[in-house]
Structure 1
Amino acid sequence: MRRTLLLLSLAGIPQAAASAQDADNSESRNAAPVIIVTARGLDDAPGVPAYFAVELDREQIVTSPSGRIEDALGAVAGFQQFRRADSRSANPSAQGVTLRALGGNATSRALVTLDGVPIADPFFGYIPLGSIMPETLGSIRVTRGGGSGPFGAGALAGTIALESAGLADLPQLGLSALVNDRGETEAAMLGSAALGGGFVTAAARWDRGEGFFTTPIDQRVPASARAAFDGISGSIRAVAPISDEIELQARVAAFDDRRTLRFDGADSSSEGQDASLRLVGRGAWQFDALGYVQARNFSNVVISSTRFTRVLDQRNTPSTGLGGKLELRPPVGEDHVLRLGIDYRRASGELQEESYSAFTGRLGERRRAGGVTTDLGLFAEHDWTLGALVLTGGLRADRTRIADGFYRARDARGNVVDETIASDRSDWTVTWRGGAALQASEAVRLRAAAYSGLRLPTLNELYRPFVVFPVVTQANAELANEKLTGFEAGADLTPAAGLRLSVTAFDNRVKNAIANVTLAPNLRQRQNLPAIDARGIEAEIAFDRGPLRLDGSLAFTDSQVDGEGISLALDGNRPPQVPRWSAAASIAYAPASGLVAALSLRHVGAQFEGDLEDDVLPAATTVGAFLGFPLAGRLQLVLRGENLTDEDVVTRNSGGSIDLGAPRTFWAGLRYGF
């Protein structure tokens, strides 16, 4: 019922807005011209090209074979999820994302923002990928390397900036409904309407299905279950001019995502409600001010893989994130852009779970864990244009604080059997970045950059132990901040009209990298490694001529653990979940007739499950397709295909116990307006 009311309320907003707009137009045809908003942040600074960035446009985002945002991001070689599974069959808390093979981690090492707002979960640090509706986006920019600008303390591996589409790219009414060969469904609707010089949009999406068996057929037992999923999300965004130089942007969103993993009863849920306000000024003194609040929750039931009974009920993990930023760009001359700012983030949350005996089913312990982390950042960046040369540099100072941390376990009678009360601690850290971009000719741009970065441990890493039977992973309240230093150099070439080539060589080092370190066969602990070193080459190619478009990317990374002082067994190992090679390619054909056809290929090299390199996830190559065929007006027949070669994509390997990703899947449906 709650979901139905959400869908109906969102559906009514665009029509009501359109009616109001029609009435307004009829009464004010002779009024002064309205002010038109951009619905974005401030324009890019001139120094942006010094840092290697890849941009995905709206067409690439909405034509992915699976219709999921992580599939679209897979077009960028070097983009990595902790698990190869997508947001239908992965545990939500494992949806961390990173770049440049800096080490697999369920927490994100890349900063992911939506319209400038960080969207990582406050407690776990994962990205709620299932809550992001691709149809609402206008572009995605992926910038690799440490960041020092707004919210730069989260951009250890880089930044993934999602930008909502403006009114010009959105339909007044968009509807889509698809079904696949397993009977799973996907439905979405989107509406937009102009209001004076601004606009309002509302969107909702519902995905549900029985899923597929992640367990290989030879490992299934009577308790094995399909990876069922049921997720709904909705958002409303409004943009309005305050004056001819200032605009206000507001967004509210909510999502509810439920999944089952491997066994009957192994159910998880994640939900959230987000709100943000943003004020953008484009006068002589430009500014970008925003504030946001996030309310999230997570639950998860763990089923024993030997007794197939409930052993853990993570029944409640409420968390809150809030923050904001203020960025100023004072007028300092035509050849200079100065950015001064301050930002703040606060994350708080508490885990509430009960453990049970796999043999008797009786309550064993009640556990609580939580705390607060905060980050206050001050930043300054300056770009200087000297003809064909652009120089850029920035400094950032962060005061980080970890406080009120605790872990407490009580037995069934209420007696404390284990307790950790962590000491409060705080620190100041200075990070920096600088670079140069030289337009050597019309066809050649050379660039180089160096940078440092910072990431706080999450509340989950600090205080929450967990068990994937029979392996116990302990938390560590003494974890230090991760710190990155790195440099890169590259070139961007445009040898012919519509053809773009880029190549970049990089060397990054993460000190105090947080990892699950093996202490004994069935015991691990989160610890700070001395360092992870990652060096490699990234290449991109794009050809866009008329109706034909080709895109390709390739990344090779030599990534190694520096285990000195921790474990000689780890020294020189490749970090868990990190492939040496990854590649992506796509070809799209979109003539003026309205036909859209796209074929995509994704390759991820072999990687290790854990830190000791004892379980391998084999290399996997998948092929996907998208076809949009015009029927009448703005109505399209949509056909999609995932994993067309039915490749076995191993997403987990624990001593030979395997999980698989999505098998070959065909989708068919109708789409109107998009």
Structure 2
Amino acid sequence: STLARGKQVGWGIFGEWIATPTDRVTVIPSFRWDWWNNFDGVVVSETGSLTKPPDNVVTVLNPKLGMQYRVTDSIRIGASVYQAFRAPTLNELYRGFTFGGFSFLPNERLSPERLTGGEAKIEGELLQRRRLTFRATGHYETVKDQILFITQDASTARRQNVGRTSTIGADVDVKFQASEHLSLSAGYAYANSTIISFPPVPAREGLRVPNVSRHQVALGLTLGHPDRIQLTVMGRYLSKQFADDLNTQPIADFVVVDASLQKRIGKSLRLFFDAENLTNRQYIATQTATQTGPIKTLGAPLLVLGGVTLNY
């Protein structure tokens, strides 16, 4: 085994300006400036040799420009372009682990991820008393130097910066207030996330990014009134995904049902009970390839939580 450690410090500044050149148009330019420093890294190998990775200091400016146009009193359209930044964590830089005889190695020389993207949306409210609300968004992003586990051999994977990945996707959310005591909701998300450039290993190009479901569906039902007693039931569906960069370890699609019961007590107290995986369904959350076959990890079983919240 190896011993590794390091330190990180970072801070940022955020600014935003909301402009309304006309009654129907809103323009929102913003920025975030980040400074990140990874330092005092030390890696001690199995033989006792000591390596000190170079310190890494990064300064990044991430701009964003958003615009919204009010078509009518109940319909709005908008678009935005943006950049984002994510520094590698200490876990990714220094922590390795072994599971089922398969070793996952850190990488003390990881670079930060940089995302560039854009989206367009339409949202609004329909029917009397705006009982139907909806939102539809399409988006496209590319990530430079995304950090993924890359398979090295039959028993080892190592965190590496992948040249570039891309995601094209869409999200649709609808909520219908059928009555004062009944509301229905539905959501769908599509994400096609692939590796588009990886010069060190061109064979990975065109493969799907691990642990990203292409299709996700959510359906919900809420009964009752928040000022008295309220029951919410939510079902979630995730389509097949892959647990590895080679796309050889598929994780089957699954459905999970959750529920929440809340009861207001007086003006300040609320009693709640939450149940996750209400049907106690067994499903595969992830799996790891080993020389003797894949080791599959089950998702969380039925979990019931209860408590009291105090608002004052």
Matched, 1:657 2:295: yes
User: 1:659 offset after TM fit, Å?
Assistant: 1.7
Name 1:427's counterpart in structure 2. 58
- 1:66-97 Cα offsets, whole Å, 9 max, x none, are xxxxxxxxxxxxxxxxxxxxxxxxxxxxxxxx
TM-score by length of 2: 0.86
Structure 2 SS opposite 1:585? strand
The separation in 1 between residues aligned to 2:264 and 2:113, in whole angstroms, is 51
User: 1:650 offset after TM fit, Å?
Assistant: 0.7
Name 2:72's counterpart in structure 1. 441
Matched, 1:452 2:88: no
AA matched with 1:388: R
User: 1:441 offset after TM fit, Å?
Assistant: 0.7
Q: Could you tell me whether the CA contact under 8 Å between 1:535 and 1:557 is conserved in 2?
A: yes
The separation in 1 between residues aligned to 2:275 and 2:126, in whole angstroms, is 34
Q: Could you tell me whether the CA contact under 8 Å between 1:635 and 1:670 is conserved in 2?
A: no
Structure 1 SS opposite 2:31? strand
Higher strand proportion: 2
Q: Could you tell me whether the CA contact under 8 Å between 1:516 and 1:527 is conserved in 2?
A: yes
Distance 1:439 1:563, change over 3 A: same
Distance 1:670 1:646, change over 3 A: closer
* Runs of 5+ consecutive residues of structure 1 not aligned to the other structure: 1-354, 356-366, 411-415
Matched, 1:518 2:151: yes
Distance 1:546 1:374, change over 3 A: same
- 1:505-558 Cα offsets, whole Å, 9 max, x none, are 000111000111111111221110011101111011122342222222210011
Matched, 1:557 2:191: yes
- 1:562-589 Cα offsets, whole Å, 9 max, x none, are 2431323311111111100112121111
Name 2:221's counterpart in structure 1. 587
Name 1:206's counterpart in structure 2. none
- 1:372-398 Cα offsets, whole Å, 9 max, x none, are 223343443322112211111123333
Structure 2 SS opposite 1:573? coil
The separation in 2 between residues aligned to 1:381 and 1:637, in whole angstroms, is 38
The separation in 2 between residues aligned to 1:609 and 1:581, in whole angstroms, is 16
The separation in 1 between residues aligned to 2:90 and 2:281, in whole angstroms, is 37
Name 1:336's counterpart in structure 2. none
Q: Could you tell me whether the CA contact under 8 Å between 2:194 and 2:208 is conserved in 1?
A: yes
AA matched with 1:520: D
Paired-residue identity, %: 25
Aligned counterparts, 1:44-59, within 5 A: none
Name 2:212's counterpart in structure 1. 578
Name 2:232's counterpart in structure 1. 598
The separation in 1 between residues aligned to 2:191 and 2:250, in whole angstroms, is 17
Matched, 1:385 2:20: yes
Higher RCO, 1 vs 2 (CA within 8 Å, ≥6 residues apart): 1
TM-score by length of 1: 0.42
The separation in 2 between residues aligned to 1:638 and 1:392, in whole angstroms, is 38
Distance 1:603 1:418, change over 3 A: farther
In the alignment, which of 397, 420, 424 is matched to residue 33 of structure 2? 397
The separation in 2 between residues aligned to 1:503 and 1:424, in whole angstroms, is 44
Aligned counterparts, 1:623-662, within 5 A: 623-628=257-262, 641-655=275-289, 656-662=294-300
In the alignment, which of 44, 58, 80 is matched to residue 408 of structure 1? 44
User: 1:472 offset after TM fit, Å?
Assistant: 2.0
The separation in 2 between residues aligned to 1:536 and 1:465, in whole angstroms, is 32
The separation in 2 between residues aligned to 1:428 and 1:638, in whole angstroms, is 45
The separation in 2 between residues aligned to 1:456 and 1:634, in whole angstroms, is 41
User: 1:442 offset after TM fit, Å?
Assistant: 0.8
The separation in 1 between residues aligned to 2:211 and 2:143, in whole angstroms, is 16
Name 2:113's counterpart in structure 1. 482
AA matched with 1:449: S
